[in-house]
Amino acid sequence: MCGIFAVLGLKHRGPDWSGVYQHEGNFLAQQRLAVVSPLSGDQPLFNEDRTVVVVANGEIYNHKKIRKQFTGKHVFTSGSDCEVIIPLYEEYGENFVDMLDGVFAFVLYDTRNKTFMAARDAIGVNPLYIGWGGDGSVWFASEMKALNEDCVRFEIFPPGHLYSSAAAGFRRWYNPAWFLEQVPATPYDPLVLRAAFEKAVVKRLMTDVPFGVLLSGGLDSSLVASVTKRHLVETEAAKKFGTELHSFVVGLEGSPDLKAAREVADYLGTIHHEFHFTVQDGIDAIEEVIYHDETYDVTTIRASTPMFLMARKIKSLGVKMVLSGEGSDELLGGYLYFHFAPNKEEFHKETCRKVKALHQYDCLRANKATSAWGLEVRVPFLDKEFIDVAMGMDPEWKMYDKSLGRIEKWVMRKAFDDEEHPYLPKHILYRQKEQFSDGVGYSWIDGLKAFTEQQVTDEMMNNAAKLYPYNTPVNKEAYYYRMIFERLFPQDSARETVPWGPSIACSTPAAIEWVEQWKASNDPSGRFISSHDAATDHAGAGAHANGNGVAALANGHGPANGAVNGGEVAVVNGHGAANGTEVAVAIAV
């Protein structure tokens, strides 16, 4: 994955090329991970007379269609998918961002009127932060570590927004119907859902470098792998790299994911790579994970650590891009706590809250834990068109209902339950959800708890609120992560970028109200939901352990999920917008 940076080079995000541009008091820089058009497309990118300059971290999947639109109007100088940003800006001004189909964080500077704009993709798949210097400068970067020593204040650049120097502020460019959280009434159509997902996967096979899929053996990653394998032969990538598909999994010896992934890989016929790690390997990597992830959120760190270890090994094999299954649980209510949603209205509102907060959780984890090693992750479930279909259906169809034989994500399972041309074996298609941090091996969480119990004393916990009055750690695991984070990122702005609040099985704080007993838990792991071990047969009928919604809780570690306002980007801007503004922008791709 590419990266945007200010002042210092985030070379771990893009080791293939370094580009810097300076105009008066404005600076743009780029560190490139070349996935599309590696022999061209070095940034910054310019228009014909070099009066408009762009640095971008993105994958624009409809760039070929946009290029055709500007035949005869614009001379393209590279094969970069991000170059289409320039003619769109020249044609439509700042009102073009919704025309981009993909994920991105970019900054554009117009030397003619000394204005600039920055924008981030709809869900926040690609990270971005914005900061302000004491001299009035504006900064943007892919990681806040590029800002924390030079900005008086910085914050997350909100997904689905653009920042305009001419307008001196943000405005939302992404305005889907679901954002208002009104309950939709469109009936479920399995073929429509299937077609939207297959399209989302296929468009993400746009690559000029070797790639693979992350495969845990759960529903989401297995469907990504299955659809990729089925359609790979039709793509340009197959002409360059053949039709063999590489799959990757990480886990402790004997973990659930290793076994399930091997079974799916054998069924699909992928070239499968199984990576093992020990609890000690994970513990040794925690500080690096926190440095790269820039968070102290417990669930994110738990899940990021195995992914971080795996990404290093994948990159060592020469693979630069992988597809992954993030986003499905948020869109479809796949987390086990959704079983307890009191009605479809609450169910839908919770999915909306979860999707809006993805940029602070799974998107952050997937991007930063892999970008640390120069590996790009693509997430087809977070395709804009697929989101419209998934969030536009009547949520009644998504809800757990034992009497109708529906378990979590039944709509997705049913859509790919093809008897004639099966995508997956039935027992895999209807396998129950695992938390990623649990799926890699249950002793991973237990080992973290035991380790942090030794590192943090009771006296330290007793004084936690005095030392950390903002987002006070509620247990020793959370305290340990916070200590590391504060040492790396001591600024108020840094700690305020991390969401906080009570959570069970990755719920938002609002969903805690669904079950009284959940309020007593401080462990976010999904394995403490009472229905976690409920048997599910291959037809999809899920047995729900406690019909009254009582959850079996255990003392554990730290709140994990909860939406907060924020944004991710850093770009430097000198002094004002049209009235003599100087933009010092640093971006790495």
What residues are labeled active site?
Answer: 2
The label of the residue with tokens 């990597």 reads 285
Q: Is 449 exposed, middle or buried (0-12, 13-18, 19+ CB in 10 A)?
A: middle
Residues 577 and 163: beta-carbon distance below 8 Å: no
Q: How far apart, in whole angstroms, are the C-alpha atoms of residue 211 and residue 33? A: 13
The three-state DSSP-derived secondary structure of 371-408 is HCCCCEEECHHHCHHHHHHHHHECHHHHCCEHHHCECC
Residues 191 and 300: beta-carbon distance below 8 Å: no
Residue length of the chain: 589
Question: Is residue 225 classed as helix, strand or coil in its secondary structure?
Answer: helix
Give the sheet arrangement for strand 52-60, strand by strand.
45-46, 52-60, 102-110, 115-120, 161-164, 169-172
Residues in contact with 239: Cβ distance below 8 Å, sequence separation at least 6, in sequence order: none
The label of the residue with tokens 């070099």 reads 50
Residues 224-262: b if buried by 16+ CB within 10 A, e if exposed: bbbbbbbebeebebeeebeeebbbbbbbbeebbbbebbb
DSSP state of 568: B
User: How many other C-beta atoms are found inside a 10 Å radius of the C-beta of residue 548?
Assistant: 8
Residues 397 and 211: beta-carbon distance below 8 Å: no
The DSSP annotation for 502-519 comes to --STT--GGGGGG-GGGG
User: How many other C-beta atoms are found inside a 10 Å radius of the C-beta of residue 579?
Assistant: 8
Nearest to 505 by CA among 486, 529, 481, 534: 529
Give, in order, the Cα–Cα distances in Å from 344 to each of 48, 180, 400, 552, 557.
53, 15, 10, 24, 30
Q: How far apart, in whole angstroms, are the C-alpha atoms of residue 331 and residue 568? A: 22
Angle separating helix axes 442-455 and 279-293, nearest 10 degrees: 80
DSSP state of 93: T
DSSP state of 196: H
DSSP state of 423: S
Residues 379 and 123: beta-carbon distance below 8 Å: no
Nearest to 530 by CA among 347, 399, 336, 334: 336
